Structure 1
Amino acid sequence: MTKEEYVTFETIETSKHEILSCSYSQWYELLKSHTVESKIIKPLPQSFIEYLNSDSIKLPPAHNYDPELVINSDNEYSDWEEDEQEQEDEEAGDADVDADADGNKDGDGHEHQITVSDFQDLHDQIISNIHELGGVVTPKLNWSAPKDAKWMMPDNTIRCDHVNDIYLLLNTSDHIVDDLDYPFASVDLEQDGLNSNDVNVDVEYELVLRKWMDINPALEFRTFIKDNKIIGISQRDLNHYMYLESLKETIHDKIHNFIYDTVIPVLSEKLNLSKYIVDVYIPRPFNKVYIVDINPFTRKSSPLLFTWNELLLIDTLGHDEDNYEFKLVNETNLGRFAKKEYSESQVPYDVVDASMNSEAMIELAREWDKLQVQTE
């Protein structure tokens, strides 16, 4: 690699069309037989979007969303549920009086706090869909799942069997905030002919409830596709699994054939997509490939065992359909990828990588200064 190749910060041109086409509802029906059963609720009412964007989290009492749970199971919150319900009823009554006097503000001029009653139809539909999907689901919006908020759950997953679990995860996730507030952060607005003031207008937000699948993280992989060709495959979970090396050829062939035979032809023809990222899951006995998600080809997604510049350099140098690398975590590279999970939420991966190494951070700063000088 030459010095020029090392210091150049490769850009990724992303269009609004590509972002919107990677919304879950856009590709789910096209590849439904290759993914887990899902319920898609759209468009979402504005009141629910405002609820997710609010600074505070207000969950309905447990017995208010599934009466069967109160009848058939012990309820650990029973000591305070009744008091909370009475308080909510009083607040609802006060809100009605205040709204009559001053629109959606209370007597002190404060904005009305959105509660479930403001999107009751959606609330009821979520409960119904949970039951239809077997009682356990995982939630996401158009592009992101609230995996960065899984620490809020007792089992440290995004497995939800109550509607309140869904509200809690969505309300506390930075990934969800990013979906709502910055869906086109990777798009050059001027080049794409967009106005920054109304760029989000065309987004039809959706809530996706996926039937729970107990995934073995060792068998989940991320595939990078550009110009309708695979440019790299990476292990998704950054832990070392010794047995994966012996399965590498089998897994590679399964992913390669699935992407070229099924995914690329469909997304190219139906959605006019030529670059994107596909997360797949291949459970034993390795006779079926499941699509976990399809993401826009942007730096907002983790390159995992690659770097973004490495992936883009592969494309620049040119390659055929079979000439790409399939990376696994092994004993030699394990330390390099020992970083906090989901630390990519707020900063580019180049910065996250550098933050693990003081010398790398200094080098990154130097190269940034050089680039600044070149553009002046």
Structure 2
Amino acid sequence: MVKICNEMDTQSKLDICSFKSWYKKFEKITIPSICIHIPKDVLEYFRDELVILPKECYTSIVEEDSEWDNEINEDNTPEYPEFSNNIRNAIKELDGSVFLKTNWHCPKDAFWITAGQTLKVKDIIDAYQLIKASSIIKRDLNFWYLDNQNNQSTRDFYLILRKWMDIHPGTEFRCFVRNNKLIAISPRDWPQFHKHIIQQKHEIVNDILSLFKEKIQYQFPLDDYCFDVVRQRKDNVILLDFSTFEENFTDALAFDWEFLKSEEIIAEENEAGLPEFRYLNSDCGIQPHSRNNYAIPQDIIDMFNPQNSDTRSNLTDLLAARVQEEMELQNRES
């Protein structure tokens, strides 16, 4: 395998950590996924701030309501039948529920927009809603990490659909690699307390270290990088993602970047032969959580205000229809 020197620009490192770049090589140790190329016209639609969903999202509603049919046919609602069909087929192939992301990030800031307030995608409506409502996704698709616009016209963007997997937040871990050595491990759900981590701390480190040495070490093109895993039970660790070993792009969680880049941690790792594993060893009560940083934006709340009915887009109508549909389903089940 050809190793790539770490003395490279940030853009190149990010490209290496892009999901499409590594998935095939590590497919056997990660979650089944499908990469869908985003055509130029769809890419421009995703970049646009106007929140209007494509015509394909209204198919089920149109079938039941002729008034919707007339409305949609008369306006300039965009349509991307081939791309939407690719999403439908991928969801079906991945057993009906998927986790969505771009080359680099998921729309974690937009979970509030779906009927169940979750990142689980069951149809194209969920997919388009999450993408259009996410500032994180827009930054990805607008080259948020670049200082210049070089090569923008030739870069390929992908929508990644991953088979849905129910993951307990206390089973996810971020791993930090320097000079091809695993030097540190942190819970992803930092700074939350999880009792099982204390009880299984040695097994957690050993299982992650085994996966790293057997399947990842010297196989990934960079010498310094981070990777995320989920360990749901003993001897079962699944790779989730790669990211750059840089503070501007990767959260250090239980660590700080000054320490991760210091010689101190290298000395500790060499002496013990094990990565440093940090976690909360006692319940400190309610801790701040990054998910709480994301909520329904005020302008969306205002759009549902009856006094501002003239400003509603077709997204609000669709959301109302989906909420009603969810309520009817719950009533039938109760």
Residue number in structure 2 paired with 1:41: 36
Residue 329 in structure 1 maps to residue 280 in structure 2? yes
Contact 1:61 1:85 in 2 (8 A): no
Task: Report the equivalent of 2:217.
Answer: 264
- SS in structure 2 opposite 1:266? coil
Return the offset for 1:79. Answer: 10
Q: TM-score normalized by structure 1?
A: 0.68
The 5-angstrom pairing of residues 85-234 of structure 1 reads 85-92=69-76, 115=78, 117=79, 119-185=80-146, 196-234=148-186
Q: 1:313 aligns with which of 262, 280, 289?
A: 262
Structure whose alpha-carbon radius of gyration is higher: 1
Residues 340 and 33 of structure 1: CA distance in aligned 2, closer, same or farther (over 3 Å):
closer
| 3-state secondary structure, aligned to 2:226 | strand
Give the 3 Å change call, closer, same or farther, for CA 283–307 of structure 1 in structure 2.
Answer: same
Question: How far does residue 204 in structure 1 lie from its aligned partner after superposition?
Answer: 1.1
| 1:133-153 per-position Cα deviation (integer Å, ceiling 9, x unaligned) | 111111111000111211222
Distance 1:251 1:82, change over 3 A: farther
Question: CA 1:298/1:342 → structure 2, altered by over 3 Å: closer, same or farther?
Answer: farther
CA-CA distance at 1:248 after TM superposition = 0.6
1:183 Cα deviation from its structure 2 partner = 4.7
Please list the CA deviations of residues 235-270 of structure 1 after superposition, one character each: whole Å capped at 9, or x if unmatched: 011221112201010011001121122112221xxx
Q: Distance in 2 between matches of 1:224 and 1:242?
A: 23
Q: How many residues align?
A: 284
Q: Using the aligned pairs only, state the percent identity.
A: 26
For structure 1, list consecutive stretches of 5 or more residues without a partner in the other structure. 1-11, 71-76, 93-113, 190-195, 345-376
Residues 341, 329 of structure 1: alpha-carbon distance in 2 compared, 3 angstrom cutoff = farther
Q: Structure 1 CA distance, aligned partners of 2:153 and 2:35?
A: 20
* Deviation of the 1:301 alpha carbon: 1.8
Question: CA contact under 8 A between 1:39 and 1:208: conserved in structure 2?
Answer: yes
5+ residue gaps, structure 2, are 1-6, 295-334
Q: Secondary structure, in 3 states, of the residue corresponding to 1:255?
A: helix
Report Cα offsets for 1:12-44 as digits up to 9, x if no partner: 9853221111111111100101111111112x1
Q: CA RMSD in A?
A: 2.7
Tell me if structure 1 keeps the 8 A contact 2:97–2:120.
Answer: yes
Shift of the 334–275 alpha-carbon distance from structure 1 to 2, 3 Å rule, reads farther
Q: Is the 8 A contact 1:232 1:324 kept in 2?
A: yes
Match of 1:282 in 2: 231
| Structure number with higher strand proportion | 2
State yes or no: 1:303 paired with 2:252.
Answer: yes
Partner letter of residue 250 of structure 1?
Answer: E
**Cα distance in 2 for residues equivalent to 1:282 and 1:224:** 16
The TM-score with structure 2 as length reference comes to 0.76
Distance of 2:68 and 2:259 partners within structure 1:
54
What's the counterpart of residue 369 of structure 1? Answer: none
Q: Retained in 2: the 8 A contact 1:19–1:183?
A: no
